[in-house]
C-alpha cells in the first residue's frame, strides 16, 4: 500500500500515521522527495482498509498494490487448488465437472427421473434446491429437510454427488449429513455470519457470485470462509445485474479469466441463472469451457413447462444430453476430461 501526503502536510502528521501503522506491526518504507512525502506499507496489509487512512490529517492518496484478500489470492498460493469431491471427482484441475439437475427438488419421482437421465448423459453431480430463496414470499419455497433427504436418497441410488443451497448457519449439521457440496446462493454471498460458520466445516463450498458483486467482493467472501479454516471453496459465476434486460442477468465470462489470475481457487459457470433462457444454455456452456472454467452447474427438468421454479431456463433431458455431446467434443480438443 502506498500513502502520499498532501503538499502542505507536516512532518508531525506524517509521523502520527507512521506510528499508528507501526503499532500494527507493519513496516514503513519511506520514499519521500524534496517535494512530497510518500511511503510504502510493507507486510500483511489485509487488515487495513485504505479508506480508513483518510481519517488522518495530511493524507492525500492511499493506493493498494496488493489484493485485500490473502488466502484466496494467487500470490499467497501459486498452484491451483483442486477440491476433491467423492467418486474421484476433482474440481480445479483438468476435469470439466458437470453439476446438473432441477432448480428445485419437487418430488421423489421428479428427482429420480432427472437424476437418472443426467447421470446417463455424463453429469457428475446432482443439483437441486431444497431451500429456495425466492424473490416472492408467495413462490414455492422448497421441500426443506424432506428435499435434503430426497437428494441423499437419489444421489445414493444414482451414485451422484449432491450440491444444494444452504440458507442459514443453523442448518450446517444437517447439510454435513446429507450433501457433498454446500452451495451459498447469490443472495447470501455477503451473509458474513453464514460465511464465517461455513469456515468451520470441511465440506466443499460452492460460492456463487452476488447479483451486483464485484470480483473483489466475491473473493473477499471466499476469504471469509478460508479465514475460518475451510479452504475447499469453489467459485461460481452466475451472471450479474446490469442495465440489460434482454437476458435475466449478464454472464460475465471474463470474470472466469480474472478470477483465475487473481486466485488459485476453482471457478465454474452457471449459464442457467445467467441467461434465464434455455435456448442460450448450450452456447454459453461451450463458451465457459473454452474460456477455462472448471465446470458448470446447469438446470435440467423433464417437464420444464410445469416446473415449480425456473422452468424457462431449464434444459429438457434430451437437450441436456445433446449439449453434453457437444461439450465432450470440444473438451477433447482442449485436453480436458469429462469422465
Ligand atoms: C440456484 O442455483 O438455485 C440459485 C438460486 O441460484 P442463485 O443463487 O445464483 O440465484
Ligand atoms: Mn433456479
For residues 295 and 181, give the distance between their C-alpha atoms in angstroms, rounded to a whole number. Answer: 14
Task: Determine the pLDDT at residue 44.
Answer: 87
Task: Determine the pLDDT at residue 79.
Answer: 98
- The residue whose CB lies within 8 Å of the most ligand 1 atoms, and thus the one to mutate among 270, 272, 311, is 270
Q: Determine which residue's CA is closest to atom 4 belonging to ligand 1.
A: 185
- The residue whose CB lies within 8 Å of the most ligand 1 atoms, and thus the one to mutate among 133, 241, 249, is 133
Average pLDDT, the chain: 97
Q: So where are the chain's domains?
A: 2-63, 83-334
- How many CB atoms neighbour CB 127 within 10 A? 30
Q: What is the per-residue pLDDT across 216-240, written as a single tens digit (0 to 9) for each?
A: 999 999 999 999 999 999 999 999 9
pTM of this structure:
0.95
Q: What is the per-residue pLDDT across 6-19, written as a single tens digit (0 to 9) for each?
A: 999 999 999 999 99
Task: Determine the pLDDT at residue 276.
Answer: 98
In this prediction, residues 70-83 reach a mean pLDDT of: 97
The number of the ligand 1 atom at minimal distance from the alpha carbon of 310 is 3
For residues 111 and 114, give the distance between their C-alpha atoms in angstroms, rounded to a whole number. Answer: 5
Q: What is the per-residue pLDDT across 230-266, written as a single tens digit (0 to 9) for each?
A: 999 999 999 999 999 999 999 999 999 999 999 999 9
- % of the chain exceeding 90 in pLDDT: 97
In this prediction, residues 113-121 reach a mean pLDDT of: 98
The number of the ligand 1 atom at minimal distance from the alpha carbon of 309 is 3
Task: Determine the pLDDT at residue 133.
Answer: 86
Q: Determine which residue's CA is closest to atom 6 belonging to ligand 1.
A: 185
Question: Is 90 exceeded by the pLDDT of residue 267?
Answer: yes
Question: Is 90 exceeded by the pLDDT of residue 124?
Answer: yes
Domain 2-63 has CATH 3.40.50.2300: no
Task: Determine the pLDDT at residue 204.
Answer: 98
Torsion of CA 322, 328, 334, 337, to 10 degrees: 150
For residues 158 and 7, give the distance between their C-alpha atoms in angstroms, rounded to a whole number. Answer: 69
Q: Is 112 helix (H, G, I), strand (E, B) or coil?
A: helix
Q: Which fold has domain 83-334?
A: TIM Barrel (3.20.20)
For residues 21 and 41, give the distance between their C-alpha atoms in angstroms, rounded to a whole number. Answer: 8
Q: Determine which residue's CA is closest to atom 3 belonging to ligand 1.
A: 103
Task: Determine the pLDDT at residue 46.
Answer: 86
Residue 189 near residue 218, CB atoms below 8 Å: yes
Q: Determine which residue's CA is closest to atom 5 belonging to ligand 1.
A: 185
- The residue whose CB lies within 8 Å of the most ligand 1 atoms, and thus the one to mutate among 99, 186, 189, is 186
Q: What is the per-residue pLDDT across 16-75, written as a single tens digit (0 to 9) for each?
A: 999 999 999 999 999 999 999 999 999 888 889 999 999 999 999 999 998 999 999 999
Q: What is the per-residue pLDDT across 282-328, written as a single tens digit (0 to 9) for each?
A: 999 999 999 999 999 999 999 999 999 999 999 999 999 999 999 99
Q: Which residues line ligand 1 (CB under 6 A)?
A: 103, 129, 133, 165, 185-187, 208, 238, 270, 273
Ligand nearest to the CA of 297: 1
Amino acid at each position: 500500500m502506498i500513502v502520499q501526503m498532501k503538499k502542505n502536510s507536516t512532518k508531525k502528521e506524517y509521523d502520527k500515521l507512521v506510528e499508528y501503522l507501526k503499532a500494527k506491526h507493519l513496516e514503513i518504507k519511506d520514499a519521500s522527495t524534496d517535494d512530497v512525502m510518500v511511503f510504502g506499507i510493507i507486510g500483511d496489509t489485509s487488515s487495513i482498509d485504505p479508506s480508513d487512512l483518510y481519517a488522518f490529517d495530511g493524507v492525500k492518496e492511499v493506493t493498494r498494490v496488493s489484493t485485500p484478500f490473502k488466502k484466496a489470492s494467487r500470490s499467497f498460493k501459486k498452484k491451483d487448488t483442486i477440491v476433491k469431491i467423492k467418486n474421484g471427482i476433482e474440481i480445479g484441475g483438468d476435469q470439466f465437472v458437470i453439476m446438473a439437475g432441477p432448480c428445485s427438488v419437487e418430488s421423489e419421482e421428479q428427482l429420480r427421473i432427472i437424476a437418472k437421465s443426467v447421470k446417463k448423459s455424463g453429469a457428475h453431480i446432482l443439483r437441486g434446491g431444497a431451500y429456495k430463496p425466492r424473490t416472492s414470499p408467495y413462490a414455492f419455497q422448497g421441500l426443506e429437510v424432506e428435499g435434503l433427504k430426497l437428494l441423499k436418497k437419489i444421489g445414493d441410488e444414482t451414485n451422484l454427488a449432491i450440491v444444494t443451497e444452504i440458507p442459514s448457519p443453523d442448518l450446517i449439521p444437517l447439510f454435513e449429513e446429507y450433501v457433498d457440496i454446500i452451495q451459498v446462493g447469490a443472495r447470501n454471498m455477503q451473509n458474513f455470519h453464514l460465511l464465517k460458520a461455513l469456515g468451520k466445516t470441511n465440506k466443499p463450498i460452492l460460492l456463487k457470485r452476488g447479483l451486483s458483486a464485484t470480483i473483489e467482493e466475491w473473493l473477499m467472501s471466499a476469504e471469509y470462509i478460508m479465514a475460518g479454516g475451510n479452504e475447499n471453496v469453489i467459485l461460481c459465476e452466475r451472471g450479474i445485474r446490469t442495465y440489460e434486460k434482454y437476458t435475466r442477468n449478464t454472464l460475465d465470462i471474463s470474470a472466469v479469466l480474472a478470477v483465475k489470475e487473481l486466485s488459485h481457487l476453482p471457478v465454474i459457470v452457471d449459464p442457467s441463472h445467467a441467461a434465464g433462457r434455455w435456448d442460450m444454455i448450450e452456447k454459453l456452456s461451450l463458451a465457459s469451457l473454452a474460456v477455462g472454467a472448471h465446470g458448470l452447474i446447469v438446470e435440467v427438468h423433464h417437464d420444464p413447462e410445469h416446473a415449480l421454479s425456473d422452468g424457462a431456463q431449464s434444459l429438457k433431458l434430451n437437450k441436456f444430453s445433446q449439449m453434453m455431446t457437444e461439450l465432450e467434443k470440444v473438451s477433447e480438443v482442449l485436453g480436458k476430461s469429462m469422465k
